[in-house]
Structure formats: C-alpha cells, structure tokens
Amino acid sequence: MSSSASNATANEKKKDEGWEYGEARDPTNRNVVWCKLCNKKCTAGISRLKEHLIGGYLNVTKCPNVPVKVSKKFKDMADKVKNDTKEKTRLEEEKRKRAQDVDEESGEEEDCSGGITSRQIATCRIAVAIHMLLIARFGPGVMDTVATWTKNLCINISQGHMQDMPNEVSSEESIKQGITDLSTWSVLDLGTGNGLLLQELAKQGFSDMTGVDYSEGAIDLARNLAERDGFTNINFLVDDVLEIKLDRQFRLVMDKGTLDAIGLHPDGSLKRIMYWNSVLRLVAPGGILVITSCNNTKDELVREVENMNQRRLSASQDPETLKGQATSVDPLPVFRYISHVRSYPTFMFGGSEGSRVATVAFVRS
C-alpha cells in the first residue's frame, strides 16, 4: 500500500472512533470492516460496525462481546447526531415562519429583493414541503432495494444484457466481475436530500458519485452524514435541476421523488418540461435513468417518458420550432424503457393490483 493510501487510512481512523473496534483487512475496500471483539464481518462500512456494537438495529446482530460502556458510548453518539439534526430542522422551520410573518405583514404581492414576490416565495415553500414529505416516504428499506437492484441492473448492462432484466444477476462470478465494472460508472443523484441513497450505492461498489439539491441545508446535512459514515468520496453540490448549472454527463442518473415533487408544483406542466430538458443534458448517450416514484405507477412513468419523446418528435417536425436553428431536434426516442423493480410489496384496491413505490429504468439513445 502506498504512503498516501496509508496516510488516508490513518486520517480516516483518527476521525471516527469506531475504528478502535474494527479493522479493514482489505485496504482497497473500506466498506468491509471486521469487528475486533467478535470477528464478525460487517459489509456496509464503519457505520454498520457501530450499529453492530450498539445493537437494536433491524437485520444487524449485536456484538456478543461488546462491553456495556462501549455500546452506550456509541449509542449516545448516534443519538446526539439524530438530536442535532432535529434541532437544526426546528431552527430552520422557525426561521421560515418568521420570514413568512414578515411577508404577510408587508403585503402578499409586494416585490421583495431581487424582484421576487411573496406569492412566489410561498410557492417555493410549498414545493420544499412536498419534497421533504416525499423524502420521508422513501425509507431505508426502499433505498436498499433501489441500490441493490440498480447494482444488478448496471452489472447486467456492463455484460451486454440490455433486455428487460430480472432483479438479480445470474452467477457469483458475474457479480464479482460486475462489481469491478461499477467503479467506471459515474453516478448523479437528482434532489439528493440527505444523500443516503448515494451511501447505499457506495456500499454496492459505485465510487464516482455526485449528489445535487437546490436546498443548501440539505446539502450541508448530506455532507455531514457522509463524513460521519465514512463516505468522503461522495461529491455534493447545491444546484437546481430545473436550472441546472452542472456541466457534465453521467452514465447513471438517479431520481427518487424529484419528478414527483415537480409534478405537484402549481406550474407542474412547465416544470416537467424544464426537468426533462435538464435530464437530457445530464444523462450520457447510452446512459441509464432510474426514477423512483411514490406518486406514479410503472406504466405512468413509461407514459411520461413516451410523452416526452413525442414532444421532441413533434418539435423536430415543426418549421417554427426549427427556424433559426443550425440543426434539427433528434426525432428518435430519447429514452427507452428497459426494466423495473418487481420485488416491492403489492396490494389490491378497487380490483386493481398496485404498489406504493415504483422504480423504473430507461436507457438514453
């Protein structure tokens, strides 16, 4: 191992007290940690080792040899992070309420700094509230499913399988080769929120990852959580998908709830067009777009993409649209459905079968 790698490892261990009780025996894979107390292998990084020491987490066995004071120490640390996050959210909410009171006293249509009216500010607040609600509905179970399924999808694609694929790859050998291939996939998470989806993807083997969100508070939280959990390679940026400034294309673009939030906006039809214009710029040719929604079914998401393709086809045939343009709009379908998650629990309502969450993948031409 090089001296620079050794220094990076030493610095990481110095920052997180969990390394006192764990060790990464493979210096190239920091996500596999062995418990020094019971020799248990933890495959989700130093954060999972600490859950192993604390106990009480779903699907995580508690270390049988951990001293009570050590377990309590890490539980107190986890509780402090949780309480600090709640307090920060409470203070931000109080700040928003105070600003709203000032707006209401000064008149609803009064022009604020920068030419923005209080009505526009109120609309933005509605969008923020909707977005946060959607994030809350995507619990750890859904994100774990999305991350695992996306890994298998990308492995299959790396091996040349582009048809509608099952939820799992075919063999252990394929998985090992595919995980190596995942390091070449650049990943963008639109509306990243707390950034936990990117952490789950990192546990699956992805390494070139970026998360964007228009909320500066969300990005600060995502950075803090990533640093706490040892995922310092994830890049987080403040950026608005409707007016994206990021000048890069990605092989994999993830959306969990961002399209949902845009669709519920008072100007949803216009905002959807702006959304798709940005997504077209961000997904590289041959790249994959994975949308997870709690407001749309799989068939509705496929129709959404087909409608977008049809709009571009119509634009390519409209002389007024093309007037003054050097080149025409590509008339071919831009995104094509390839697969969707089939493992979500389903329920019957009104004689129809459905699921509260849909995850669908499309490939860009």
List the chain pLDDT tens, one digit each, 365 residues.
454 444 444 444 446 788 889 888 887 777 788 999 999 888 777 888 888 899 887 778 899 999 999 999 988 888 887 777 777 777 777 766 666 555 444 444 444 444 545 544 554 554 455 445 545 555 567 888 899 999 999 988 888 776 555 444 444 544 455 455 788 899 999 999 889 999 999 999 999 999 999 988 889 999 999 999 999 899 999 999 999 999 999 999 999 989 988 888 777 788 999 999 999 999 999 999 999 998 888 999 999 999 999 888 887 776 665 555 544 455 566 899 999 998 887 666 666 666 778 999 999 98
289 close to 324: Cβ distance less than 8 angstroms: no
Of 44, 31, 40, 46, the residue nearest 65 (C-alpha): 40
Contact 301, 360 (CB under 8 A): yes
Report how far apart, in Å, the C-alpha atoms of 356 and of each of 16, 138, 167, 353 are.
37, 10, 18, 10
Domains of the chain, first to last: 1-90 (no CATH), 140-364 (3.40.50.150)
- Dihedrals phi, psi of 209, to nearest 5 degrees: -130, 140
Q: How far apart are CA 165 and CA 174, in angstroms?
A: 15
Three-class SS state of 166: coil
How many beta carbons lie within 10 A of that of residue 156, not counting itself? Answer: 21
What span, in angstroms and rounded, lies between the C-alpha atoms of 188 and 208? 9
The DSSP result for 219-262, as a single string, is HHHHHHHHHHTT-TT-EEEE--GGG------EEEEEEESHHHHH
Distance CA 278, CA 241 (A): 6
What are the distances in angstroms from CA 129 to CA 192, 264, 270?
15, 11, 20
Cβ count near 311 (within 10 Å): 14
**Distance set, CA 105 to CA 100, 108, 119, 203 (Å):** 9, 8, 13, 49
Q: What residues form DSSP beta bridges with 290?
A: 254, 361
pTM: 0.62
State the alpha helices, DSSP H only, in 16-163: 45-54, 68-106, 118-137, 140-158
